[in-house]
Chain A
Amino acid sequence: MTGTPQGDTLPLERDFEATIGHDQRIEPRDWMPDGYRRTMVRQIAQHAHSEIIGMQPEGEWITRAPSLRRKAILLAKVQDEAGHGLYLYSAAETLGADRGELTEMLIEGRQKYSSIFNYPTLSFADVGVIGWLVDGAAICNQVPLCRSSYGPYARAMIRICKEESFHQRQGFELLLTMMRGTPAQREMVQDAVNRWWWPSLMMFGPPDDASPNTERSMAWKIKRHTNDELRQRFVDITVPQAEVLGVTLPDPDLRWNAERGHHDFGPIDWSELKRVISGDGPCNAARMARRRSAHEDGAWVREAAAAHAARKTGREVAA
């Protein structure tokens, strides 16, 4: 389909635009502009990689969870992240991407994942704050993606959003429990909030005036809201939640602006985001090394399963 001669693509392009214009979904075998396909593959792959790398910061606490209940919850949550990664790789494959190649691109650093997972989880309160803030920000980002113009991506997002809601609630409940505990526990929660608040706001990406692809992604209905709109929504949602918890969000400029009907908040250090995205965050190297070794250490399992399948097929043919 990409091989169609240039002169012939005009009616196809018109059909494509009309489908999107009518708010209908683009499905895998539809004709689509190369730019749309490339953008979708990159976005879905990056999202899938984020889910997979996202298993690491919290995974580190599975063996150290303070109770069997918390351990079971954390295991289920990390397993969900793996599942989300797989739903998304599955969606990327409908566009002709190869899953093995996507993994290679991740471990060779040729494709990115969310900058948020390059921060360390220093205490168990971080597990709660990741659920509350990081997954909360992810939900703000992802709910509109359930209406993304690419069908398989939108459908994967619907499943993911349903499951993310458990993630956020378990995080909030964990923090609420700690806030009702000892002064030391409350301090741990506040410390974790201080460390994760700004990186969470950065999850929405660069400000609109520095986000060159936003316009085209909005026109293609890949994106439904701008980065700044979603960031504002997240801040407005989170402030009253912080009050319930009894924590302080580490921003002296944060206050309600009655005129705008939104909270104002202080400037974000975009140089930090740039630094972390380009590989110089606190944990980038460790995350990549861990992912690579998991892939390489698992090679024998993949080979054994393939060998078993080949032998069984041989037996069936013989019988």
Chain B
Amino acid sequence: MTGSSWPLYEVFVRSKRGLNHVHVGSLHAADDETALRHARDLYTRRNEGVSIWVVRSAHITASSPQEKDPFFAPSGDKVYRHPTFYAIPDDVPHM
């Protein structure tokens, strides 16, 4: 049996309070609990984190990363969602 028969987990680390968890990499582990321990040993050897999430890679649903993907088309043509779309005279204060 090789390590690869252990499932793959993705690891997310919160580097300090006030920040989001950020994806840092992956690892193999037999179960959720050992995945957390391995993640601690592998990704936080120098105080890089105050909190870790691990999730089985197989449980992640992802969009296709191609930027031309029609999946993201609905937001592509709605420039009026951005504040810069609106012309306001320069002398209007606090806007």
Contact = CB atoms under 8 A, between A and B. Distances in A.
A100 B45 contact: no
Q: Interface size for chain B: under 10, 10 to 19, 20 to 34, or 35 or more residues? A: 20 to 34
How big is chain A's contact interface, by range?
35 or more
| B interface secondary structure, majority | loop
B30 A309 contact: yes
A305 B65 contact: no
A155 to B, nearest CB: 8
B64 A299 contact: no
A156 B62 CA distance: 21
A11 to B, nearest CB: 10
Contacts of B62: 29
Kindly name the residue among A83, A90, A103 whose own CB sees the greatest number of chain B CB atoms within 10 A: A90
A101 interface: yes
Contacts, number: 68
**Chain A interface helix/strand/loop/mixed:** helix
A317 to B, nearest CB: 14
A106 to B, nearest CB: 12
Contact of B2 (A29, A76, A103): A103
A145 to B, nearest CB: 16
A27 B28 CA distance: 21
B49 to A, nearest CB: 13
Interface stretch (B4-12, B76-84, B87-95): B4-12
Given A93-B26, A156-B25, A308-B31, A101 B42 contact: no
Nearest to B26: A90
Nearest to A26: B65
B34 interface: yes
B30 A100 contact: no
11 contacts: A29-B62, A29-B64, A80-B45, A83-B45, A90-B25, A91-B25, A99-B28, A100-B3, A302-B1, A306-B1, A308-B30
